[in-house]
Structure 1
Amino acid sequence: MAFALACVVFAAPFVDYSCKTVASTLNAAYVVMAVLVGTGLVALVKLPASARLLKRMRTRKAFLLTVGIGSVLLICLQAIIVKTSWFYAGFDVWCVTNYGNVEQTQYFSMNVNQYFMTGLFQRIMGLGLAVGLENGYLCLVAIGCLCVSASVVMAAFIGKRLGGYLVGYAAFFGCFVFVGLSPWILVPYSDTYAMVWTTAVIWFLVCIDNRAAKCLGMAFCSVVAYEIKPTGIFIAAAIVLTALCQLARTLAGGRSLRRQGAHCSNENSVLSWNWRQVVACCLCAALGLGAAFGIASKVKDIGFEGDPEAAFTATHFLMMGFNPETNGIWSGDDVAESQSHATIAERQSANLRIWAQRVQDAGPVGLAKLFVKKTCTNFSDGSMAWTREGDFYFETPNTEGFWVQAYGIGDEDHEAPFVPLFQVVWFVVLIGVAAACFLVRSADVPVRSLCLALFLLCGFVLLFECRARYLILYMPCFVVLAALGWQQLSRRFACPATMS
């Protein structure tokens, strides 16, 4: 994350990369503003008057009341935003919300990962029409908003559990603004729909104490997150890897203790579990996996029989990620190249051959330049590449109003007014995440899992097709880690009198 921060500050203003915005040319100024905002908030919290207020706010009742009222306010604001500024999105959203169009036959054959989203959207729109709603698309937007709002609430409780009440409040209000009021709530797609499931995985891990319920919930949510968006599996992979590392250390420590004649008394240690607990957790995880895969198989049944040999695999996106002409984003030429091969085996072989040739042609210096450009594409835009998709607007029924103007809806030629604000907030988040990765010395699985999940996400968008939008489903995780990072910064650089 420190590398990403360095790229967006020192490289983004001067390097030509895909999806570059006008705001990125002023990134150095935005970072300075972010530092001032972050340190200003820390100083404000440490004022005597604020300290007295926060002392009263550090209770379970006050926290629940604040989050409850804030959540209702967020949902009301989202309802106003949707009512006054909703639009029909283009690009992939059009395909998964207009299933049945003859033009989509080839699309679904190539993108088999979209079956679940399409089936889910079919059922949501059908339910909306069944209860008397005239616009099924608006039902999708509304459910997407609820997914985002639920993610904001879970992020607050995750932050509180990991860093205390202050971190919980910071995570809630940070997500409230940066996630809950993002214009992406108006786009019903996998980014917002997967967000609630990736956040739920961490919520089960952190906030649920019953081990059986924890395993069942994490297993179920991990599968749903993966079915909606394959990168949603990173959080589950990170938890498993972190837990295995902790298990190895615990077993090594347990052997050392036994050699010394001691025993492990930590009830959270794996060594303290008896075989019944292990079996119960495994059974619950299997139940969660089975239920999720069973539901997914039903949802993915959209009555479409595509060509299984036409599917694009990971090698296609790896090839696109190293395209020197597009700097790693979507490429029509690469799509045409993959389509020219009749079978998956031929396509994968061709993809890997082109990828290897591109790596060889670029050389070490060329690859370094490409990675810098891709990092700028992924992390330099606080709007998460708003309107930077092909055919972003399909139809815009609303052309006037405060939120239409603030989000720049319908106007792809000019930068939206909300972008500078989100650019500053994004850099506050990035600074906090970088600080958390270096300063948080927690041996707990959740914190290390969050760091590892974001590392896996960064590695994916660095090697495969890149897009800032691909970060959205993990945005609550970014904000929670950022709150922990700023907490550590405030402790690390506070004077002794303040720390007391």
Structure 2
Amino acid sequence: MALKSTAYSLINKIILALFSFFVFLTLYFALVSPNLTLGDNVARQVIGEKTTWLSIAFILLVVGAIIGIVIDKRIRYCFNFIFYIKGKITAPILFMLVVGLQLLFVFATHPAIGFDPGAIHSALTNTTDDELVSYFSLSTNNLPLLLIQHHIAVYFSNHSWLLFDIVTLILVDISIILNTITISIIDRTKVIWALYLQSIFLLVFPMIIVPYSDTWVLPLVSSYLLCYVIAQRQQRMSSILIMGLGGILVALTYFIKPSAIVPVVAIILIELLGMLRALYLKQFKILIYSISAVTLMLLTMFVTVTYGQQQINKQDYIQIRKGDNMPPIHFISMGLSGDGGYNPKDNIEMAKRSAYEDKVTYSENILKQRLAKLGIFGYLKFLLHKHNKNTSDGTFAWLIEGHFIQSKLDKQDKSRFFKNLVYPKGKYVADFRYIAQWIWIFILGLMAFGFNYHHKLAQVLRLSIIGAFVYLLIFEGGRSRYLIQFLPVIFILATLSSSYTVNLFKRTFAWMRI
């Protein structure tokens, strides 16, 4: 029995070790990122030419606040009174203020977006264009999102970018609320910190004007994580039904963005580990509950995916050429080119081949060629470089995608401040880059140094992040936009780990307190 307990403990230690390796590596890459360049910037693939007074003001504000809290008891008391003692009032007010700023931002900008969101938006008014038919025949993963946006456009008799940006804003904020509820179930004392952390992040998250699967999947990921936490909190037969609902939500997540179900794999693996432990300890009640809950989740997920796929196959909104879709091996081979991201040449080769089998054969051959060219050490070096590109950018690849924002910056526009923050060649784009990077570093730090936080959900979240990093190393990546779908996992873990990180730093720097 002792040996079996040791094995259980060892597996958990391996998960923590792998998580720490990946997150500390990410934190290092984030700290040395060219995004933190002050003044003129000439680095490749970094937005903004030079920082302005905004970055200096940000530095002075943060550094001044830290110094004041450390050396002055009165400032420390005021900070504690406003943000902790009265946190139940301050945190919701701050969140509502941020929502208000989001609305102002959306109404001031709502630009036309290129790349994949642009293709979806174009198909809302034109379903006969050959290029669009080819796009959705190749990228069938975006077809469910197109159908959803089509129904929204019909319902509101409106297909403007503004409408879909507002929907995106609502979905992102619903995800934030659901994350906060999840945290409240685990630890009520962390609710105000959850709102603070996520509110601060939203201030540097302009992706609410990009109506695409990255953001639209967020409330679904938050929802199935919430279902899992509720089911774990109250291990009753009625809670098993909640896992059934979770299975439906996982299926819907799969249709919007298949890779966003990575945390589900983590849930299943942790539950299997728990089942083995319950079996060894002869805790048959826990074992039966876990088996029933996971089985029902998988069953409802399978039924929903099967039914949903049948409905998608029947759709007649846009013509889809059967068999033209790209095989998974294509995204693996493409993930070995350049920085590990999108490769237009590979996509052209896919478009040239009508037979699915030919696409698979070509992708397999090009994958073998790229692996042979890299060699073992070259491949490891490539993975290190790709992980940097996948995870270090706190702007989540803002403006990095091809043809990102189609609208031009009008210097006479009254709303030019918001546009100067996020539009190409905007005056304050480099400031946005700089500030967003420090906030991303802060979030990574909360997770990385919170390794002393031990909870079953923490292991699920850590394994989810490991899975996300590994997935992006294998498949198409090359920019941090693909991390957006995992933000609920990151926010929940960062918040729950926060007190452990703070305590670690308090003990380390206790000598500085006056």
Deviation at 1:74, TM superposition (A): 3.6
Could you say what secondary structure the match of 1:86 adopts? coil
Partner of 1:19: 45
Task: Please state if 1:241 is matched with 2:269.
Answer: yes
Deviation at 1:232, TM superposition (A): 1.0
Alignment match of 1:425 (pick from 420, 439, 445): 439
Alignment match of 1:194 (pick from 192, 217, 224): 217
Task: Please state if 1:104 is matched with 2:137.
Answer: no
Task: Please state if 1:483 is matched with 2:509.
Answer: no
Alignment match of 1:455 (pick from 466, 474, 487): 466
Task: Please state if 1:171 is matched with 2:198.
Answer: no
Deviation at 1:8, TM superposition (A): 3.7
Partner of 2:12: none
Q: Output the aligned Cα RMSD.
A: 3.7
Q: Deviations over 1:258-290 (max 9, x none)?
A: xxxxxx5xxxxxx32596996587557644653
Deviation at 1:411, TM superposition (A): 3.1
Deviation at 1:55, TM superposition (A): 6.8
Partner of 2:257: 229
Could you say what secondary structure the match of 1:382 adopts? coil
Partner of 2:326: 312
Measure the CA separation in 2 of the matches of 1:276 and 1:22.
54
Partner of 1:408: 422
For 1:323-334, what aligned pairs fall within 5 Å after superposition? Answer: 323=337, 326-334=338-346
Deviates more, 1:94-103 or 1:202-211: 202-211
Task: Please state if 1:142 is matched with 2:170.
Answer: no
**Do the aligned partners of 1:381 and 1:423 also contact (CA within 8 Å) in 2?**
yes
For 1:23-422, what aligned pairs fall within 5 Å after superposition? Answer: 47=76, 56=85, 62=88, 69-99=93-123, 100-102=127-129, 103-129=131-157, 134-165=158-189, 167-179=190-202, 181-207=204-230, 209=234, 211-254=239-282, 264=283, 271-273=284-286, 282-283=295-296, 286-287=299-300, 290-291=303-304, 294-295=307-308, 297-298=310-311, 301-323=315-337, 326-396=338-408, 399-401=413-415, 403-411=417-425, 415-422=429-436
TM-score by length of 2: 0.79
TM-score by length of 1: 0.81
Q: Deviations over 1:357-409 (max 9, x none)?
A: 21111122322322222122122211111011111123358754255345332
Q: Percent identity?
A: 19
Partner of 2:454: 441
Measure the CA separation in 1 of the matches of 2:164 and 2:191.
29
Measure the CA separation in 2 of the matches of 1:497 and 1:322.
43
Partner of 2:17: none
Taking a change above 3 Å as real, the CA distance of residues 41 and 282 of structure 1, as seen in their structure-2 partners, is farther
Could you say what secondary structure the match of 2:406 adopts? strand
Partner of 1:267: none
Could you say what secondary structure the match of 1:439 adopts? coil
Deviation at 1:215, TM superposition (A): 0.4
Measure the CA separation in 1 of the matches of 2:60 and 2:484.
23
Measure the CA separation in 2 of the matches of 1:24 and 1:248.
56
Measure the CA separation in 2 of the matches of 1:486 and 1:375.
24
Flag structure 2 segments of 5+ consecutive residues without an equivalent: 1-22
**Do the aligned partners of 2:183 and 2:492 also contact (CA within 8 Å) in 1?**
yes
Taking a change above 3 Å as real, the CA distance of residues 423 and 246 of structure 1, as seen in their structure-2 partners, is same
Q: Deviations over 1:308-348 (max 9, x none)?
A: 3221121111111111xx22111111112233333222221
Taking a change above 3 Å as real, the CA distance of residues 410 and 56 of structure 1, as seen in their structure-2 partners, is closer
Deviates more, 1:284-293 or 1:38-47: 38-47
Q: Deviations over 1:38-93 (max 9, x none)?
A: 987996999556556677558xxx3xx66654554343322211111111111111
Flag structure 1 segments of 5+ consecutive residues without an equivalent: 255-263, 265-270
Taking a change above 3 Å as real, the CA distance of residues 312 and 274 of structure 1, as seen in their structure-2 partners, is closer
Measure the CA separation in 2 of the matches of 1:4 and 1:495.
24
Deviation at 1:113, TM superposition (A): 0.5
Q: How many residues align?
A: 462
**Do the aligned partners of 1:194 and 1:225 also contact (CA within 8 Å) in 2?**
yes
Deviation at 1:488, TM superposition (A): 1.2
Taking a change above 3 Å as real, the CA distance of residues 396 and 223 of structure 1, as seen in their structure-2 partners, is farther
**Do the aligned partners of 2:171 and 2:215 also contact (CA within 8 Å) in 1?**
yes
Deviation at 1:117, TM superposition (A): 0.5
Alignment match of 1:472 (pick from 461, 471, 484): 484
**Do the aligned partners of 2:183 and 2:191 also contact (CA within 8 Å) in 1?**
yes
